[in-house]
Chain A
Amino acid sequence: MLTKEVIKTMNNEIFIPLGFVSEDKKVRIVSIKGGSHLRNRINEMGLREGVDITVIKNSIGPVIIAIGQTRFALGRGISLKILTESIN
């Protein structure tokens, strides 16, 4: 499948769109693409550059992520605009 390939190349470039991060992986937000209005609103909800998140579920439909004890569902579209790097 195409998506697998994308993950691979993205992996080499370090930045992985959130939508391609596999379940139970912990990543750090490095950049949020998109218009400033969208970015500001997301920032205000606590999704910001430098914040660590854990992907709880990522199969079909929205992605579920965890920041501390908070859980967010993010639609496919937005999950591809959030770039992350893996942390270990």
Chain B
Amino acid sequence: MAYKTKNVKEIPNGGKISTNIALAGNPNTGKSTLFNALTGLKQKIGNWSGVTVEKKEGKRSFNNFELSITDLPGTYSLSASSLDEQIARDFIIYDTPEIVVQIVDASNLERNLYLTMMLRELGARVVIALNMMDLLEKDGSSINVQKLSTEIGIPIVPMIANKKIGIDDLENAIESVYLEDQKPMEIKYSKEIEEVLSTIQKMLLSIPSIPSSFNLRWLAIQILQNKSDITTLLESWNVKSKVIGELTSFGKEDYEAEIIDSKYEYISKVTSKVWKKGETKVTRSDLIDKVVTHKWLGIPIFLLVMWGSFQFVFAVSVPFMELIDMLFGWLSGLLVDNIRIEWLGSLLGDGIVGGLGAVLIFVPPIFTMFFILSILEDSGYLARAAFVMDKLMVKLGLHGHSFIPMLLGFGCNVPAIMSTRSLKNNKDRMITILINPFMSCGARMPVFILFAGLFFGASAGTVIFALYVLGIVVAVLTAILLRKTFFKGESAPFIMELPPYHSPKLRSATIAMWDKGKMYLKKAGTIILIGVVFVWFLAAMPFGGVEYGGPDTWLAAVGTFFEPIFRPLGFDWRIVVALIVGFVAKELVVGSLGTIVGGGESDEGIKSAILADEGFYALNSLSLMVFTLLYFPCAAVVGVIKKETGSWRWTIFAIVYSTVIAWLFAFAVFQIGSLMGSGL
């Protein structure tokens, strides 16, 4: 682990040098901009091992270098106080990238250099990309880049990443560090700390179970800071009590505050020589903030932005949806009519193409939703939305930060739940994860659009809006309930950096839309495809003589078995089947209804089939929508809840709780509606 010092390398004759580097930096320093500028579309999104945190990797070639670049989560420190920090730190320790490029915000030098110190202390070889040089002049500050570089012994490349200025120089710096090596750097701490450090270090050296490749000084520094995961590591080497005993013999258990201070002192000493601080001026962003976060205007502006976003999503996607619908309808009909083997034609036409078409039609709104969310995030507005909602969230026992995952949940609950990793307090994080499935994701939209459109005519929009609100209300009540029962205690203090407003970049929004939308397409190609084929199979079995999707099929048998539970909600066996299949993915509720009711070839076909069917009417379609909104989160969300909470108990809680709540609400809707005889 940690870094072995490298000797000067030689470039193999004419050969390529393949090497891996990591991109680190504080949040809001333009890290993704630089990553996109370096790798373009050659990106791959995966997960960090063990956790479902998004991991971005890309490639860049220059001269005879072939770089594999890993984008680390944006962090202020590597002290592993949040999942993000832990991931960044562990990557540097265990995956040993050759070089770490740290992107530094030139206008906030001191705080950014704090991370540099941590990287260097860990033993990483660092190149600094000093970004946003163009903003320096604005507040009258200046940096003597050359001198700073000499002082800290690290190459520094001035850059303006969003204009792609400085990329060539960065390549050269990476090349020279790779070839010429970097001197190790040690921060000197106070005499007392150094004494403790050397004692601990000596003791660590004498313990054979510690791998020899470990950077012992770094390890000793972590021990002095009493890091819980380091303690776990010591435990695994059977040296915990020995080390802790040694530490307490110095009469102190925790030197963290002093260690942080020493680093900052060193930084101040350096920056005082090279950095002319500017005046804090009121910027245009501040003026916008005074309006956007205003005590009366804040929430109306937020609602307006949300409303505008939804309008945009629908306006843009409707033409594409019609196109896809036409295409699949045509294809499905073609297959059924022209394939002579009847069951095969039915499988391909009714089953696969019909079912997939019912799902793929929602690609346009989902892609547009991701596009808008990315624009909101890039522009800086998402952070303000969290700010505006903080007051309300505090009443729920949470704070503004938890609002961002809720908002992202409107797109898809999977990335939304992943985004809770930046929350530092575990109780806050658990509550935020557990309420997220109630935020109505894009996959539930198909059900709403279909039924609200069919039975509520002009007020369809209002009905859908009310469903979203119901989801939020249930989430809010659940949060209060959880805070008062299982997760008692104060929420973590709310501290959030507000990035300056940017005009969002079309390119990065498109990349984000494609990256996240791809997951949906992949889902359609795998789990949903299997789901529709399975439904088709049950709907066609037993072979011979039964009417496809009719009351004599296996599908009907399953549905009829569970029907009694759902009769009070107004559902017959067909709806029950669709809901069960919806466990896999909620899009399948529409897809499988299409298969069962018939006319699954196209959206229009499903609509006329449902309208002609006596088993569907306004009141039970309303309770169906309510049930779909609230019940069992889809398989992917269950998986991500398990991974992120690390607990089967809470995963099962999420499943049972949501389904019981769904049943109760749908029951109330159906029974009250029936009693009122509202003519629905």
Contact = CB atoms under 8 A, between A and B. Distances in A.
Contacts of B294: 59
B527 interface: no
Interface residues of B, number: 51
A36 B261 CA distance: 13
Given A60-B295, A61-B293, A44 B139 contact: no
Contacts of A69: 105, 107-108, 135, 138-139, 278, 280, 283, 500
Given A46-B110, A70-B111, A57 B493 contact: no
B481 interface: no
Interface string A36-70: 11111111111110001010110111101011111
Contacts of B293: 57, 61, 64
Task: Give the residue among B76, B277, B298 with the most A Cβ atoms within 10 A.
Answer: B76
Contacts of A44: 76-77, 79, 114, 260
B139 A68 contact: yes
A47 B293 CA distance: 22
Nearest to A40: B256
Nearest to B259: A40
B613 interface: no
B79 A57 contact: no
A41 B497 contact: no
Given A44-B77, A46-B114, A78-B494, A73 B295 contact: no
Interface in B251-310: 254, 256-257, 260-261, 264, 277-278, 280, 282-283, 285-286, 289-290, 293-295, 298
Contacts of A47: 495
A38 to B, nearest CB: 6
Contacts of B493: 34, 38, 74-75, 77-78, 81
A71 interface: yes
Contacts of A73: 383, 386-387, 390, 400, 494-498
B81 A56 contact: no
B615 to A, nearest CB: 50
A62 B260 contact: no
Interface in A1-46: 24, 26, 34, 36-46
B25 to A, nearest CB: 14
Interface string B633-659: 000000000000000000000000000
Interface in B175-208: none
Interface of A is mostly: mixed
Nearest to B290: A57
Contacts of B388: 61
A78 B495 contact: yes
B424 interface: yes
A74 B495 contact: yes
Interface in B322-380: none
B391 interface: yes
B197 to A, nearest CB: 18
B254 to A, nearest CB: 7
B257 A56 contact: no
A87 to B, nearest CB: 12
Contacts of A26: 280
Contacts of A40: 79, 81, 256-257, 260
B229 to A, nearest CB: 14
Interface string B469-494: 00000000000000000000000011
Contacts of A70: 105, 107-108, 111, 497
A62 B285 CA distance: 17
B28 to A, nearest CB: 8
Contacts of A43: 257, 260-261, 264
Contacts of B394: 75-76
Nearest to B293: A57
A83 to B, nearest CB: 15
B395 to A, nearest CB: 12
A64 B495 contact: no
B257 A39 contact: yes
A67 B109 CA distance: 11
Contacts of B138: 69
B512 to A, nearest CB: 23
B280 A45 contact: no
Contacts of A57: 286, 289-290, 293
A45 to B, nearest CB: 5
A51 B113 CA distance: 16
B77 to A, nearest CB: 4
A84 B59 CA distance: 47
B81 A41 contact: yes
Nearest to A81: B493
Contacts of A52: 280
B427 interface: no
A45 B76 contact: yes
Contact of B111 (A39, A46, A74): A46
Contact of B494 (A45, A46, A67, A77): A77
Contacts of B260: 40, 43-44
A38 B38 CA distance: 36
B574 interface: no
A79 B353 CA distance: 58
Task: Give the residue among A34, A36, A39, A64 with the most B Cβ atoms within 10 A.
Answer: A64
B421 interface: no
Contacts of B105: 69-70
Given A68-B278, A73-B496, 20 more contacts: A36-B254, A37-B81, A40-B79, A43-B260, A45-B495, A46-B111, A46-B114, A48-B264, A56-B282, A56-B290, A61-B298, A62-B400, A66-B280, A69-B135, A69-B280, A70-B107, A74-B494, A75-B390, A77-B494, A78-B495
The list of the 10 closest CB pairs from A to B, nearest first, reads A75-B494, A46-B111, A78-B493, A69-B107, A60-B295, A71-B498, A44-B77, A61-B391, A54-B280, A73-B496
19 contacts: A24-B282, A38-B493, A40-B256, A41-B81, A43-B257, A43-B261, A43-B264, A57-B286, A61-B295, A61-B387, A64-B293, A64-B387, A68-B278, A69-B107, A69-B138, A70-B108, A75-B394, A76-B394, A78-B495
